[in-house]
Structure 1
């Protein structure tokens, strides 16, 4: 047995069976098995654990006896009979005469794990064969065996381990199939969902069975270890937060997997996971690898500001905090989100490690951070920390929660000496007892707190809500003496059997927004000073409900919610893009957007329950918060980076953005709020990914229209006109106000079936008109995308005519790649668009795919002299004439770099052209002028120019164009080419050497002349011999 395991057993001796019968934290299966081995004792045996009792010396221990779990199960998985054996496993006489029906099953097996939840009074027993039994425990506890009652058999009989989350009343069961099943202990232990690595391409053969599960101390996530390979951390909703199993790529669906027989040199837990344990604060996960007990691997984690409990929100500033630092998402100066690592001052952290609470001010420019004691503030603009000057005052504060009330920091402080709680109000400019604005004693330990404008919500157990109005007298400046007073404006005591609240947020009144004129959008300043009368409640079990603070009535909205953000009334800036949203929530269904209803009371109408199905987050991206002025939700995912100097990879949190603008615009258009939608879109026009948002909006609306038609095939799509326009027409009318309209429409067309294009363009406009507008605006690449649509809707003749016009324009602008795509389209269109070719597959937008042909098409050279080409029709002849005319224009002007790009882009037959134009446009007047002119045009100092010259030289050699060969070989200093040419034509050599020597401008080629002279002389000497 390894040294580590012996040490573990020694520690377990001290706590003995009390862990089995009393422990709040469960032993893992492997740890429990080691206790049994050391003590020669198991729950199924009759021997007393004398060795274990002897290990107890410092405190009295009481052994209450062993008992056997002998229970009978019905076919319906309900345990109906349970016999106990307080006398070392002997059956109780009280049940010996019980008559058992023949269909009852007798269950007796070795126990491999016990999991006990004291708050829930539930005991979970896992047997060797994989059965998992839920047992209830009476208030008497575990002192008496008869207080335990088997209630239900859970799962499918392949349980390997289990761990209970008492806070949210969820049981996580690891199976031999490598899957973790989550059960709701509130709802009759029903299955909620399963999580596994199957969707990431890993099966049970790769990972093996689940070996251990460990919940974080705050029950917000759980770690899963597998027997054969890997460790993963999941959120309750099923988001994969971290995984040691290497994944290549960015998408969870498209990323290829890395199997065990590949190079996994730098993968932690490669041999599987045997033990896991979180530290006290949830910042580190300690793990022991299977068959490698010589070391413990520690993984460091950061926590998201979940906006739960007493700590406030981080509405505009997304922050992850670790034990000694803050990770701040930055998005001000760039479209790309980045993470800044901000280390806390060593002077503070050395006394108050670790970080316990973080809250951002409403404008996101100030951060309040609290450790075990004290409080510090950070100014993001000035990049400065503010701390207590008196360390004695700092140590008196034990912060249990933080919030911001404007420019005031609200601290929920625990007073150890009196075991009471209080609220402390400090101005952000000074942390000192002399600047304390107010000290408010609290009745008890608050469960949740929230702040909105001048109102403060405090909730105590079991469910007592107190709302205070905060009044500040005087200016909040260092030179003045402001006074802050709290007055109670509302108290509610709510009786309910539901789970206790985990978070509560005020909901500002949105009534006035429905009554403003259509030329304006109201701002939260219109509601300033008005007391909120509603709040959202997120309970510990994930239930989201709306509480009316006037009468205490609660309306359940949805369940399985992990996070939520109240968006209405949170920003006074005119550029706030999500003011039309009431709130957003996140759970296993993904992100959900909630909108106010059209009724007089926006919270009591049925249509208030509107969810947006189009907002999805990748299951590897965990949402952190909102950027209201950008209309995006910011999330974070794990990425791995590898280094040769370290054994293990670095796990890097990477921020990602998900726009919700298209959801908001569609919502406004559905309610016929066209002007509001236009204003919202105009505010967003300069935001990143605006064009993508418009495209996604039109695509989702068009897809919905297609689905509607498919549902009723007998209904023919007829565009509506007038005031009763269809949503598709409203969407097109909105996007027409922006220059992105033409790109958006054709991009959506490319993403949909060509059979539905007529429906799209009946609302968006005729394809030829859209093409013509793009052509006149010189948006040639966008215009090219319409060619295929025109061919489908208007016929091949019209599309060929448009393509020929566009080809000439593209050549004039030197857009040779685009010209090449147009050439290939024109040369193929005669075959692709025969009158009989009406199959939708032939006319699919995948045919050209944005006019980017496969590489095989690009390499294909269209021989203008081939038999098929000689059968020239009008448009093919036009293509040839246009290409030859442009080639002559470039050759006459000696625009050789453009000529090379032209030939490569269009696959123009340069050899045939040179043979025909040897004495025409390709002719050089004389060597000297040609060398000087071409040297100036090609600029041989760059690599690309030299490559172009090599390309031309190869073609000139193929047609034996001596004038060009001499010039290009000289510029490239290709002495072997020149030598091969001159050795057969000494007159040409003499003319060449005389020309170079007689022109001072060609002095740079003197070394080339000498080398050639030496080679030619050596050749002549050999011939004379």
Structure 2
């Protein structure tokens, strides 16, 4: 859902960072600062405006004593920084504000200061203060700052050390001290608050990893280390916190493996039903998956174990629920290996890992350049491999991008940025490639980030990607870039109205696709510019950047956006934005939960002084607190809102779904609470719910009370990337129990159509990163069985599977088209790359028609097609349907083609569809097609009967290819009808066709003779062409009203009044004019010489030539004689039966020309 746009900006690296190579860029926890590190310097930058705020340079003495800089880490408060050096020292700095701004920004009346998004606040001054130095015994590999502690990974011995933060004064020495600091090793009275956890204590759950064995060439494997009592070295450690789940620690080891770890104390608090974590029960083998309960598969930790872990990579492959379990495996006496021995050799060591907490995924970058995406369910369920991101395969590259160098998920979880040794890429959550660059694939670009990336991160709002390029000889100076992006508005708020329109969001504007309001051909034309750019007012975006929510109304005329504070809305009718009159009221609340439009009323979920409300604003009134139409208080923050007709669904952080009705009255409007349902036990992590809606049965819509919709509706949830249906079931005592049914996994967005067309009503559409999956009438999906222990149905296969080559944004149901976008990189004649967004369309109607016909449901297919019969491209849709069935039926042997032909016979376009499909299909498959449809000659005759002359002309090609064409008679018949219908362009094409089937020109001459298009000229006894009598009419009365236009000599002129209406010769003048180029190319200047039995090509002009062309090499005699006054020797076309005429030419040629 993210695409690069415009061109990358180059950041000006100032002193002191310009003196050395930047080795690391690191973003602060809130994202408003980032640190840039060199071997001897540290600089702190403000993200917006992107300027360096403070810097510190280390002296040569400091480098000799403490070592050079290796990595930098931000403290949890966003103000402290820790530098890790090559000698395992930690240098502590504090970012302190100053009273003087770092930059002066003078503004005069002549040149007023123009600020961009996020640049309206006062640019404060900052400085870096050194706090001291600490030394880590055993070799520190990485630092994980937490709120009150620092977690350090050690090399000797492999362990994890936790120390308090800020460090006690006795463990830190001042930078100028002559005494070394006390080593941090967890020993001694000074370090009583420190804690060391040896990885030998992880022996039990590491032995149960069940993963693939790493390559012997890449250090020692985990099994080898455990066998030799040498545990793997933890090289990196990160933490991910999700409300309602224990904190997830991800540990990367030097063996290329990744582990998911949890603290025992948190597990004891969240899972009290498990055995006591303080005891040491006998180890037991976990139950196999088919016997493990949702709370099972738990490995009791050894005594005093601080962490409990599972293998995250290599992860177990996705389990096949249909695979049988037999023998001792079924008894639970042995563990099922997660991968076969054949897979051991394909193990690629991991080098980077990044966790997506919004979807419960982890991206693992490997040395081979692939990114393994792993699904992380709630503990104790084991992680499972989800999918693989392979840039070489997805972009069809010639070379490998190299090892992964950096990973960064967007804060909303929908996008993943990947840095490679030779390039970069951005992927969607489901695996759709959204942009990339690679060394060697783009030789014209000299930008460093297109040649390789060292580090990267996303700016707040996820619309700007900061990239640290590797050293490149093409770009030695420019190394720090920011790439602008566009994203779908559904990443911030997935609501039905936002999915109804293709609605994009950029840093300072929104883009709305207006193709739905255009004619049909404009929709399918990729070059049609149907995107409306609407800039957000600078007065709002300058101080409230980034934009967090964007919403559009159901008619596409009203738009609202919300940033850090307040909101603003726009009307397409007036073209104006409305802002709060009082800026203090705008700063008093935060939009948290989303924005929706109900006609002209804006529904906003807000937070005011830690209180949560739903407010209603009118578009027609000024934005002010006194103009709030209605306010509804809620006990907890709003996570997701959805508006369906006048039913407002509100899902809150306490796992409760509220149903409100929006009730307009004569004077005002308000929301009425109809009911609420708690999903405790159904939805485990409320913060991972990304979207919701419902499907109400038709009987309830027509006869029921809207207040009762909640207890009968099927609720749709998008949670953890899973598309789920919750079906209500009465459990007695007016209680409602829900059965959960998971339709699909890895779903990024979904669409519902409550008021669809024909069989598409109540259909459910979901995009999984590669294709659109459609379930027709989700209300009637029948479950095969219900699992009592899980309250879940078995998975249901989708009805229709549509593979797309772009990212879908909107479904134009009335036009049968899916609208989406894709990216394009252009650098033609430029030394830098320009990123563009392209609009893509996909006609989905043929696939749905085929689904009904494959099931034998002809009536449903006809009912669906009737809704689209008026579209200008309906015949094309039918042709696509026939072509797809014909292509696959030859290979698969299915028997759908006869029913498809029967279906086509119900439409007048059927003859066009058949011949159009035939011309786009291999000739070898024509036999199957015409054996079912009918003989081509019969179809040709039917076209002549119906007057479909152009269609009949297409069948001529089929007859000619199949050698069923009766010489030129069929063409002459069609040509005579085309002349009568004044289809002059068709006449021209038919004459060309006659010339093509017989290069000698015999067929063309026969047709001209039979139709009387050109009559023989008047000849004397010497067989020479005579000029027209002086009183002859020189005009073409059938073709022109101008009496002065010259006519072709020798062509008799017949007026319309002199010839009968049915006589084809009455159009001779028109056809002669329309086909002049054809006859001139094939039989130039036709004359007939009866005495010599030959035909020569000469046309006589009625007036002498005025303009004479200069001589050319083709008209100059080799002996020096100028022959430019005459045309070259005319072409001699032999008459049928006369072979000798080919060797003779006309004795007195006449030159041809054009009158002025």
TM-score, length basis structure 2: 0.62
Where does residue 454 of structure 2 map in the other structure?
274
| SS, match of residue 656 in structure 1 | strand
Aligned equivalent of 1:735: 904
> Residue 2 of structure 1 corresponds to which residue in structure 2?
20
Which deviations, in whole Å up to 9, do the C-alpha atoms of 1:61-83 show, x marking residues without a partner? 998366664588899973599xx
SS state at 2:637 partner: coil
Residues 693 and 716, structure 2, Cα contact 8 Å, conserved in 1: no
SS in 1 for 2:443: coil
| Partner of residue 382, structure 1 | 574
- Matched residue, 2:843: 659
Within the candidate set 220, 244, 247, 1:121 is matched to 247
1:328 corresponds, among 505, 512, 515, to 512
Aligned partner (choices 256, 259, 276) of residue 130 of structure 1: 256
Match of 2:865 among 681, 684, 696: 681
Match status 1:170 vs 2:361: yes
- Of 752-761 and 67-76, the range deviating more from structure 2: 67-76
State the secondary structure of the residue aligned to 2:393: helix
Aligned to 1:871: none
| Unpaired segments ≥5 residues, structure 1 | 82-99, 246-258, 475-480, 514-523, 711-716, 718-726, 828-861, 865-876, 936-949, 972-1001, 1005-1025
Given that residues 369 and 375 in structure 1 are in contact (C-alpha distance below 8 angstroms), is that contact kept between their aligned partners in structure 2? Answer: yes
Partner of 2:293: none
CA distance in 1, matches of 2:848, 2:716: 24
Q: Decide whether aligned partners of structure 1 residues 105 and 492 sit closer, same or farther in structure 2, where only a CA change above 3 A counts.
A: same
The answer as to 2:238 corresponding to 1:238 is no
8 A contact 2:561–2:567 mirrored in 1: yes
- Which of 1052, 1063, 1077 in structure 2 is aligned with 1:901? 1077
Q: Is the 8 A contact 2:819 2:840 kept in 1?
A: yes
- Find the partner of 1:344 among 517, 530, 536: 536
Change (3 A) 1:954 1:697: same
Tell me the SS of whatever aligns to 1:506. strand
Distance 1:804 1:402 in 2: 68
* 3-state SS in 2 of match to 1:447: strand
Q: Quick one: structure 1 residues 612 and 53, their matched pair in 2 at CA, closer, same or farther if it must change by over 3 Å? A: farther
Query: Structure 1 CA distance, aligned partners of 2:85 and 2:946?
Result: 77
Question: CA-atom RMSD, angstroms?
Answer: 5.0
Match of residue 648 from structure 1: 832
The answer as to 2:307 corresponding to 1:148 is yes
In 2, the alpha carbon distance for the partners of 1:24 and 1:798 equals: 89
Partner SS state of residue 355, structure 1 = coil
Residue 301, structure 1, aligned to residue 488, structure 2: no
In structure 2, the CA distance between the partners of 1:579 and 1:497, relative to structure 1 (3 Å rule), is: closer
- Cα deviations by residue, 1:233-278 (Å, 9 ceiling, x for unpaired): 1001111112234xxxxxxxxxxxxx71763325562320001011
- Work out whether residues 558 and 569 of structure 2, in 8 Å CA contact, stay in contact via their aligned partners in 1: yes
**2: CA distance, partners of 1:191 / 1:693:** 39
Counterpart position of 1:179: 370
1:451 to 640, 643, 647: 643
Q: Contact conserved, 1:67 with 1:145, CA < 8 A, in 2?
A: no
Equivalent positions of 1:185-224 (< 5 A) are 185-186=376-377, 188-200=382-394, 205-224=399-418
Instruction: Give the stretch that moved more between structures: 100-109 or 539-548.
Output: 100-109
Partner of 1:1008: none
Task: Please state how far the C-alpha of 1:637 moved relative to its aligned partner.
Answer: 0.8
Cα distance in 2 for residues equivalent to 1:755 and 1:924: 46
Q: Is the 8 A contact 1:577 1:683 kept in 2?
A: yes
- Give how far 1:655 is off: 2.0
Q: Secondary structure at the match of 1:314?
A: helix
Deviations 1:764-803 (A, max 9, x none): 444323222334556455334434655788x736697645
SS of aligned partner of 1:693:
helix
Change (3 A) 1:205 1:42: farther
After superposition, give the CA deviation of every residue in 1:192-215 in whole Å (9 maximum; x if it has no partner): 111122235555844211111110
The alignment partner of 2:564 has SS state of coil
Contact (CA 8 Å) 1:578, 1:631: kept in 2 or not? no
Distance in 1 between the 2:931 and 2:779 partners?
31
Could you state the TM-score of these two structures normalised by the residue count of structure 1?
0.69
Question: Take 1:264 and 1:792, find their aligned partners in 2: how far apart are those partners?
Answer: 47
Alignment pair present for 1:882 and 2:1021: no
1:653-681 deviations in Å (ceiling 9; x for gaps): 22222222224434555677756654543
Q: Is the 8 A contact 2:492 2:550 kept in 1?
A: no
Within 2, Cα distance between the matches of 1:509 and 1:432? 37
Equivalent residues of 2:968, 2:994 under 8 A apart: no
Q: Report the counterpart of residue 412 of structure 1 in structure 2.
A: 605
Map Cα deviations across residues 417-456 of structure 1 (whole Å, 9 max, x no partner): 2x12110012232233343221001110122222222222
Q: Does 2:807 align with 1:622?
A: yes
CA distance in 1, matches of 2:1148, 2:256: 87
Q: Which has the higher contact order (CA 8 A, sep 6+)?
A: 2
Question: How much has 1:361 moved relative to structure 2?
Answer: 1.3
Q: CA deviation at 1:136?
A: 3.7
Query: 2-side partners of 1:197 and 1:685: how far apart?
Result: 42
User: Structure 1 264/174 Cα, relative in aligned 2: closer, same or farther at 3 Å?
Assistant: farther
Distance 1:680 1:179 in 2: 43
Q: Describe the superposition over 1:881-918 as per-residue Cα deviations: whole angstroms up to 9, x where unpaired.
A: 336778956884499986673268xx736499899999
Deviations 1:5-54 (A, max 9, x none): 4952636999x9998899799x9xx9988796987943355599999955
1:696 maps to what in 2?
A: 880
Q: Closer, same or farther in 2 for the Cα pair 1:683/1:559, shift >3 Å? A: closer
- Which of 190, 194, 204 is residue 64 of structure 1 equivalent to? 194
Selected match of 1:394 from 573, 583, 586: 586
Partner of 2:937: 768
Distance 1:33 1:770, change over 3 A: farther
Contact 2:995 2:1003 in 1 (8 A): no
The superposition leaves residues 817-867 of structure 1 with CA deviations (integer Å, 9 ceiling, x where unpaired) of: 84477448745xxxxxxxxxxxxxxxxxxxxxxxxxxxxxxxxxx356xxx
Q: Aligned match of 1:440 in 603, 626, 632?
A: 632
2:595 match: secondary structure: strand
Asked whether the equivalents of residues 324 and 349 of structure 1 are also in contact (C-alpha less than 8 Å), the reply is yes
- Whole-angstrom distance in 1 between the partners of 2:836 and 2:421: 25
Looking at structure 1, the residues matched to 574 and 917 of structure 2 have their Cα atoms a distance apart, in angstroms, of 46
Q: Pick the structure with more strand per residue.
A: 2
Partner of 2:745: 560
Shift of 1:145: 10
The Cα shift of 1:595 comes to 0.9
Q: Which residue of 1 aligns with 2:140?
A: 42
Deviation at 1:320, TM superposition (A): 0.6
Q: Where does residue 612 of structure 2 map in the other structure?
A: 421
From the superposition, tell whether residues 525 and 675 of structure 1 become closer, same or farther in structure 2 (CA, over 3 Å). Answer: farther
CA displacement at 1:372 relative to structure 2: 1.9
Distance change >3 Å, CA 134–CA 757, structure 1 → 2: same
**Aligned residue number for residue 443 of structure 2:** 263
Offset of residue 684 of structure 1? 2.2
Per the alignment, in what secondary structure is the counterpart of residue 541 of structure 2? helix
Structure 2 segments unaligned to the other structure (5+ residues): 1-18, 25-35, 45-54, 57-68, 92-134, 142-153, 177-183, 185-190, 212-222, 268-302, 315-346, 730-735, 787-792, 1016-1047, 1052-1068, 1110-1123, 1133-1143
Q: Indicate conservation of the 8 Å contact 2:760/2:777, yes or no.
A: no
Distance in 2 between the 1:821 and 1:77 partners?
Answer: 79
Deviation at 1:314, TM superposition (A): 1.6
Q: Residues 101-126 of structure 1, C-alpha deviation per residue, up to 9 Å, x if partnerless?
A: 99946655665433332445333333
